[in-house]
Amino acid sequence: MGPRAPQVIKDESPVKVLPPRRELPPPEFTSLVMNVLIFLAFGCSDLHDHWNSLQSDRAFEALRRKLCSILGSTITTASVLLAISVAFVSTASPVPYLNYSTPTPYCLLFMSLMLAIIAILTSGSSMMRWLHTDRRWIQKQLKQGSFLVLFHLLSIIVPIFFVVCSLNCLVSAMLTAGLSSHSTASRAVTAFCLIIYVLNIGTILMEAVWKYHARRQPISPTLPC
C-alpha cells in the first residue's frame, strides 16, 4: 500500500466578525453660549445632534446643500442692502421732509454699506469652504477641541450676523431721518413703521427661543397602556 494522504482538519469554529469601527463622538459642551451658537448655525440642540449628520455621505450632502443655500441667500440679501446703501449715500434726499443727509443717518447708512461688503466677503469664503470640504475633515475638526468647533460654527453665523447688522443700520437710518422730520405726517408714519418693526423682531426672537427650548427638551418614552 502506498503512503496515506495527510488528513485535512477543517476548522469549523465560527468566524469572529469584528464590529464596525465607529467614530469617536465630539467633546461634550455644556456651555449655554456654545449650545446657542450650535442652534443658530445648524438648528441642532447640541453638537452630538450635528455629529449624527456627519455619519453618512447622504446626510452630509443634504447638510452641505442646506448650508450653501443659506449662504447663497445671505450673499443675495447683502448685495441688495449694498445697492440700497450706495444709492442713499451717493444721492441727496429728493424730498425735504426726509433728509437722510444729516450726520446720524448718513453715518448709519455708511455703516450699513460697510457691513454689507463684509457679509458678502465672509459668505463667499464660507461657501467656498463648504463646497471643497468633506465630512472626514469636519469630523477631525470637531474632535480636536473647542477652538476648531467655534471656528466651524462661526463660518455660518458670522455672515448672517453681518447681514442682520447691515439691515438694522439701514432701518435705523431711515427711522432716524423720519422721526427727526419737520412733517407731522412723516413722523407719524415713521412711528407706525417703528412699532411694526419692533413687533416683528420680538416675534422672531420669541419663536427662536421657543424652538431652542423645544429642541433641548428630551423626548419622554411613550408608556404602553
pLDDT tens per residue, range 57-82: 888 888 888 888 989 999 999 999 99
Tell whether 119 is covered by a domain: yes
Do residues 163 and 119 lie in contact, with contact meaning Cβ atoms separated by under 8 Å?
yes
Tell whether 101 is covered by a domain: yes
Task: Provide the residue range defining the domain that includes 150.
Answer: 32-212
143-147 average pLDDT score: 70
Tell whether 3 is covered by a domain: no
180-197 average pLDDT score: 88
Tell whether 219 is covered by a domain: no
Radius of gyration of the chain from its Cα atoms, rounded to whole angstroms: 28
Tell whether 128 is covered by a domain: yes
> Cell numbers of 93, please?
434726499
CA distance 193 to 198: 9
- Where are the alpha helices (H) located in 7-145, listed in sequence order? 32-42, 47-52, 57-90, 103-131, 135-144
Residue partners of 77: CB distance under 8 A and separation at least 6:
119, 163, 167
CA distance 58 to 70: 19
Tell whether 134 is covered by a domain: yes
Cα angle 61, 67, 69; round to 5: 100
> Cell numbers of 187, please?
413722523
Tell whether 2 is covered by a domain: no
Instruction: State residue 5 phi and psi, 5-degree precision.
Output: -70, 140
Domain count, the chain: 1
Tell whether 155 is covered by a domain: yes
Question: Which pLDDT score is estimated for 21?
Answer: 42
133 Rama sector, left if φ>0, alpha if ψ -120 to 50, beta otherwise: beta
- The pTM of the full predicted model, rounded to 2 decimals, is 0.75
pLDDT digits (tens, 9 = 90+) for 87-109: 998 888 777 777 788 888 889 99
